[in-house]
Amino acid sequence: MAHLNQPVAAPLPVARLQIGAIARLRWQIFRNSLRTMRGRMEFVSWIFIAIWFAALGFGGAFGLGIGAWWVVARNQTQWLAALLWPIFMFWTFFPLIATAFTEAFDSASLLRYPLNYSSFFTVNLIYGSLDASTMVCGLWLLGVTLGIAIAAPAFSLWTLVVLIVFGLTCLFLVRAVFAWIDRWLAQRKTREIMGVLFFVCIICFQMIGPLINRFGHRHMQLPAYLAQAIAIQRFLPAGLAAEAILRALHAEWGLAAAAFSMLVAYSAAFLLLFHLRLRAQYVGENFGEAPSRASQSTQKTEARSGWTVPGLTGPLAAMIEKEVRYLSRASQTLFTLVMPMVVLLIFRFNANPARPRSRIVTTAYAFPVGVAYALLILTNLIYNSFADDSAGIQFYFLAPVRFRQVLIAKNFVHAAILAIEALLVWIAASFFYGRPETVIVAITLTALLFAAPLNLIFGNLLSIYSPKKHDFGSFGRQRASGASALAGLAVQVVIIATSVVAIMIGKHFGNLWFAILMLAVFAAIACAAYRISLNRIDGIGRDKREQLIAILAKSS
Amino acid sequence: MDTPAISTENLTRRFGDFLPVDGVNLRVTTGQFFGFLGPNGAGKSTTIKMLTGLLAPSAGRIQILGLDLDSDPIEVKRNIGVVPEGMALFGRLTGPEYLNFAGRMYGLDRDTAAKRTTELLEFMQLDREPKKLITDYSHGMQKKLALAAAVIHGPRILFLDEPFEGVDAIASGTLKAMLQRMIARGVTIFLTSHVLEIVERLCSHLAIIHQGKLVAQGSLEELRSGVEAMAPSQGSSSTPGEKLTLEEIFLRIVGGSRTDDTQELSWLT
């Protein structure tokens, strides 16, 4: 048998071929996604987003290029770090904050193929880096490089080398952070801890400025603080990159080499962190969370009766109970609901008692700002309301209930949260800024009555037309679709514009109650529109059930 | 003549030019344990999705217990229980919470839902970890829970899409015990499965779908005699006088046997 002499398996394909195959696969997935209306909507929304980022990238590159040219040409090189720090901050923090624009590349599925580790690593690095922040920061670095090269052509090669290493440092840092966050998100317990830590970090980060503003003058003079900060930043990647270029420009090559070496060390350290995580993935990990048999209870269960909600039918009460239980187990979502009060606190601290003009939010605006922020946060839930249901979406179409009942229950819970948030914001605003005037409260609540039904209408429609499954085990996959995000933004712009026009008219006539009357009319129209939309939602749900099930019930 | 539990008339589903289900006429009598078989991609799941309201037919009519699914979907759903392909579970609920929720969505009052939840959890041996979230359940536990949720309201017809897929022998035993108990009480069960041995052991009646068309329907005996009448000795591994197994019947009907061809895929060894 001649064929028995042939090798048992084909030789391992080279990494280049595999990377090419993945590129083709991703292109085919993209091309195939355009076959559906939802895919085409996503594509259009991405075009808008790409235009915005292109403007940011090229505009920023031009500005930073001019800045770099100026600091070198005018011998103000001590400001070079000030150009590199924004790039470093944007590159590292933007992907974490704005996950909607971040590439969430899941390479774990590639492990079934005969991929050697270097290919696996390369694929992860390349495809994980194809996101907006890398593109924008790459352009910005190019701008800085060109600016310096024009001002001091003799140093262009050195600048290029330093900034390439600086870019790689940022890239490795972001990839390492993402890889480790994914690791911690893979298990529910670590996920909960991560959620709390992330939330605390965000609050602490936002509190730094206001606290310094408020208390800083008592303990530390600003120049002293700045001097300390400048001294510290020299040992961090952006400072080191600036130092390496700056010292070279002053012909201090020894110091330049030292700074560059430290930058390379940072780069290597981040690369090592990234490698450790990927290596663990590559050799195989098990994040099974099933408790051991010994931990199982020997006590039998006596099921408790479900909730009753006065005036609502059993299925509606059951749906509401399910929604509340789901929310109570989504710690990340719960934490975001506290943010409106935190923001009011931050703004309050931001106000320097010695400088009343420093107040961003005054007593008059505290309540409206807090409520608007609460509504904005809630849009994350409203515009993708089936995201957490996953395979459970099938149940809504199997149970003897109308689809509108499902959405009414979800909307009921969202509206209740909004009402509670408004109350909490009112308490926080009263506590931090003094009790808001009645007319301000009335305007805000009437505007909310106008905004809430409108958001629920569009939220319901986009939840059906453009659903996206949440994957809590992977960073950056907890977001709504791009189309939903853009549509949500457009709805908020319309609501804010309409409310502002109503208030301006009220002010013009010297009576804000006139604005309230106008907003009340808009609210009545919005409520009527909501009712009409509910009447049509059964048909829409029926027409779109296959798409909903296909997207939400698929295993991730 | 009794109203059939399930009947379809020229049931068709089209995806563009592709016809996964093409003019299927099914008839399932009340109380039957009905096995719906077919090779991969034959149209089994598409058919069961249409029968349970998860997918709209492109043409044709579905009647469940004499009710038209299209015009009276809520009443139909009240009378059926379904374990679909994805199991329709809510991962962030516990088992007791999910069953309670399912019971109430099917119109049970609070106390009845709670009582049945307790009983079902005990029967399915899922009562030891009441606080465990469904997302942390094993596959077998999830299948058992999905079946419990499908029967909590006492349906007259039960639809099961691959209920034994990925289930170990112990969980499979529990599932079978539950199904046999239901059949004994007059419930109609409509089941799709690739495990022909299980279908042969459980089902009294069968239908086979192939390339979207219904190619056989009847009791196992009827199918066997039909196949034997077609080609008495073709491809049978059974000795003379021995009955054809369901696998043999199935392979003869769908023409799935493959001759040994050493020229094909020679690089595999």
Residue-wise DSSP of A220-284? S-HHHHHHHHHHHHTTSHHHHHHHHHHHHHTT-HHHHHHHHHHHHHHHHHHHHHHHHHHHHHHH-
CB contact under 8 A, B106 and A400: yes
Question: Residue A226 carries which side chain, given as an amino acid letter?
Answer: L
pLDDT at res. A129: 79
| Average of per-residue pLDDT across B16-27 | 90
Which residue type does A528 have? A
Residues in chain B with CB shorter than 8 Å from the CB of A188 are 133, 135-136
Cα A183 to chain centroid, rounded: 18
Give the pLDDT of residue A283: 82
Q: What's the pLDDT score for residue A474?
A: 55
B154, two tokens: 């006492």
Residue with tokens 């009598």: B29
Are B84 and A188 inside 8 Å of each other by CB? no
Identify the closest residue of chain A to B52 by CA–CA distance: A398
Residue A5 has pLDDT above 50, yes or no: no
pLDDT of A166 higher than 60: yes
Strands B6-15, B33-37: pairing is unpaired
Tell me which chain B residues have a C-beta less than 8 angstroms from the C-beta of A6.
Answer: 267
CB contact (8 A) between residue B105 and residue A305: no
Maximum C-alpha span of chain B: 66
Ranking A133-142, A204-213, A214-223 by mean pLDDT, the lowest is A214-223
Instruction: State the pLDDT at residue A7.
Output: 45
Q: pTM to 2 decimals? A: 0.74
Confidence of residue A444 (pLDDT cuts 50, 70, 90): very high
> Closest approach of chain B CAs to the CA of A181, in angstroms?
20
Q: How confident is the model at residue B101 (pLDDT cuts 50, 70, 90)?
A: very high
Mutation to test the A interface, candidates B101, B129, B132, most A Cβ within 10 Å: B101
Q: How far apart are CA B60 and CA B23, in angstroms?
A: 7
Q: In this complex, do A306 and B114 lie within 8 Å of one another by their Cβ atoms?
A: yes
Beta-carbon contacts of residue B28 (< 8 Å; ≥ 6 apart): B4, B5, B6, B7, B34, B188, B190, B205
The residue extents of the domains of chain A are 11-283, 314-552
| Cβ separation A303–B117 shorter than 8 A | yes
Kindly report the nearest CA distance between residue A295 and chain B, in angstroms: 9
Q: Whole-angstrom Cα distance, residue A499 to residue A48?
A: 26
Q: What is the mean pLDDT of residues B147-156?
A: 93
pLDDT at B138 over 60: yes
Q: Do B105 and A318 touch (CB under 8 A)?
A: yes
Q: Considering chain B, what percentage of its residues have pLDDT values greater than 70?
A: 92
- Measured between CA atoms, how close is A308 to chain B, in angstroms? 8
Predicted pLDDT at A403? 94
The DSSP letter of residue B257 is -
Query: Which one is predicted more confidently, A527 or A467?
Result: A527
Q: What is the pLDDT of residues A361-409, one digit of tens each?
A: 577 788 998 999 899 888 888 998 998 888 899 999 999 999 999 999 9
- Supply the pLDDT for residue A11: 47
- What are the chain A neighbours of B115 within 8 Å (beta carbons)? 303
User: What's the average model confidence in pLDDT over A144-172?
Assistant: 93
Amino acid, res. A194: M
* pLDDT surpasses 70 at B80: yes
* Whole-angstrom Cα Rg for chain B: 20
Write down the pLDDT at residue B127. Answer: 86
Looking at chain A, the whole-number percentage of residues with pLDDT higher than 70 is 83
Q: Kindly identify which residue of chain A lies nearest to residue B128, measuring between CA atoms.
A: A297
- Relative to beta strand B205-210, strand B188-192 is unpaired
Q: How far apart are CA A70 and CA A64, in angstroms?
A: 10
> Does residue A139 surpass a pLDDT of 70?
yes
Whether A10 has a pLDDT exceeding 60, the answer reads: no
Between the CA atoms of A178, A180, A181 and A187, what dihedral angle is there, to the nearest 10 degrees?
140
Mean pLDDT (chain A, rounded):
83
Q: What share of chain B in percent tops pLDDT 90?
A: 52
Shortest CA gap A14–chain B (Å): 20
SS3 state at B147:
helix
Whether the pLDDT of residue A100 is over 80: the answer is: no
Of A6, A305, A553, Cβ closest to residue B110 = A305
Q: Do B55 and A304 touch (CB under 8 A)?
A: no
- Of residues B107 and A196, the one with the higher pLDDT is B107
The phi and psi torsions of A454 (rounded to 5 degrees) equal: -60, -45
Provide the pLDDT for residue B269.
Answer: 62
Tens digit of each residue's pLDDT (9 = 90 or more) over A511-539: 888 999 999 999 999 999 999 999 999 99
User: Of A492, A498, A512, whose CA–CA distance to A440 is shortest?
Assistant: A512
Contacts of A267 (CB under 8 A, 6+ apart): A165, A168, A169, A172, A237
> Which member of A321, A326, A398 has the closest CB to residue B88?
A398
Find the range with the poorest average confidence among A17-26, A516-525, B57-66, B172-181: A17-26
Predicted confidence at residue A296, as pLDDT, reads 54
Residues A405, A309 contacting (CB under 8 angstroms): no
Q: Give me A423's structure tokens.
A: 């109350």
- Residue A22: per-residue pLDDT: 79
Q: Indicate if the pLDDT at residue A433 is higher than 70.
A: yes
Sign of CA dihedral B46, B47, B48, B50: positive
Q: What is the C-alpha separation between B185 and A80, in angstroms, rounded?
A: 83
For chain B, first and last CA: distance in Å? 59
Counting every residue written for chain B, the total comes to: 269
Tokens read off for A368 = 């409206």
Best mutation target, B92, B94, B139, B170, to test chain A (most A CBs within 10 A): B92
Burial class (CB in 10 A: 0-12, 13-18, 19+), A542: middle
Instruction: Give the tens place of pLDDT for each residue, A69-85.
Output: 999 988 888 888 899 99
pLDDT at A213: 65
Interface-testing mutation among A395, A472, A556, with chain B (most B C-beta atoms within 10 A): A395
Please tell me which residue of chain B has the smallest CA distance to A393. Answer: B88
Instruction: Give the residue on B whose Cα is nearest the Cα of A287.
Output: B136
In 3D space, the residue among B170, B175, B174, B171 whose CA is nearest the CA of residue B160 turns out to be B175
Q: Is A309 helix (H, G, I), strand (E, B) or coil?
A: coil
Q: Choose the mutation target among A191, A321, A398 for the interface with B, i.e. most B CBs under 10 Å.
A: A398
Q: Which residues of A241-264 are buried (b: 16+ CB within 10 A; e: fewer)?
A: bbbbbbbbbeeeeeebeebbebbb
Q: How far is B31 from chain A (nearest CA, A)?
A: 21
Q: Where along chain B do its domains lie?
A: 6-224
> In this predicted structure, what is the pLDDT of residue A162?
95
Token digits of residue A429: 């605003």
Q: Using CA atoms, how far apart are residues A289 and B210, in angstroms rounded to an integer?
A: 41
* Predicted pLDDT of residue A9: 47
For residue A7, the chain B residues in CB contact (below 8 A) are none
Report the chain A residue with the minimal C-alpha distance to residue B139.
A290
pLDDT score, position B250: 87
Instruction: Answer yes or no: is pLDDT of A93 > 90.
Output: no
pLDDT of residue A158: 93
Side chain identity, residue A292: S
Question: Computed from CA positions of residues B143, B144, B149, B154, in that sequence, does the dihedral angle turn out positive or negative?
Answer: positive
Hey, are the CB atoms on B136 and A300 less than 8 Å from each other? Answer: no
- Give the span between the Cα atoms of A210 and A343, in whole angstroms: 11
Cβ within 8 Å, pair B101-A322 = yes
The Cα–Cα gap between A339 and A373 comes to 8
CB atoms under 10 Å from CB of A555, counted, come to 7
Per CATH, is B6-224 categorized as 3.40.640.10? no
pLDDT at A8: 44
Q: Taking a C-beta distance cutoff of 8 angstroms, is the pair A430, A346 a contact?
A: no
What pLDDT, on the 0 to 100 scale, is given for residue A6?
46
A364: its two tokens:
């008059």
Residues of A in contact with B136 (CB under 8 A): 188, 289-291
Nearest CA in chain A to B75: A400
How high is the ipTM of this complex? 0.89
Mean pLDDT of chain B: 87
Sorted by sequence, the CB contacts under 8 Å of residue B114 that are 6+ apart come out as: A303, A304, A305, A306, B100, B103
What mean pLDDT comes out for the span A478-490?
Answer: 74
3-class SS at B94? strand
Q: For position A1, what pLDDT does the model report?
A: 42
Question: What is the Cα–Cα distance from A355 to A347, expressed in whole angstroms?
Answer: 14
- Cα distance between residue A168 and residue A178, in whole Å: 15
Which CA distances in Å does B104 have to A58, A318, A358, B151?
Answer: 57, 6, 55, 12
Q: What is the dihedral of CA A256, A259, A262, A267, to 10 degrees?
A: -80
Tens-digit pLDDT profile for residues A115-138: 788 888 888 888 777 788 889 999
CA distance A277 to chain B (A): 24
Best probe of the A interface among B70, B72, B90, by most A CBs < 10 A, is B90
**Cross-strand bridge partners of residue B24:** B11
- Best of B65, B76, B105 to substitute, by most chain A Cβ atoms within 10 angstroms, is B105
Which residue of A300, A389, A401 is in closest CB contact with B105?
A: A401
pLDDT for A264-304, tens place per residue? 999 999 999 999 988 888 887 766 555 544 455 556 667 78
Q: Who among A6, A391, A399 is closest to B89 (CB)? A: A391
Residue A349: pLDDT band (50, 70, 90) is confident
A146's tokens: 């060109």
Q: What percent of chain A has pLDDT over 90?
A: 39
* pLDDT reported for residue A541: 93
Q: Do A303 and B77 touch (CB under 8 A)?
A: no
- Binned at pLDDT 50, 70 and 90, residue B116 comes out as very high
- For range A434-456, the mean pLDDT: 93
| Tally of CB atoms within 10 A around A473 | 18
pLDDT tops 70 at residue B235: no
- Residue A212: per-residue pLDDT: 67
The predicted pLDDT at position A3 comes to: 46
Beta B18-24 vs B33-37: how paired, if at all?
unpaired
What residues of A are in contact with residue B84 (Cβ under 8 Å)? 394, 398
DSSP letters along A133-175, please?
HHHHHHHHHHHHHHHHHHH-GGGHHHHHHHHHHHHHHHHHHHH
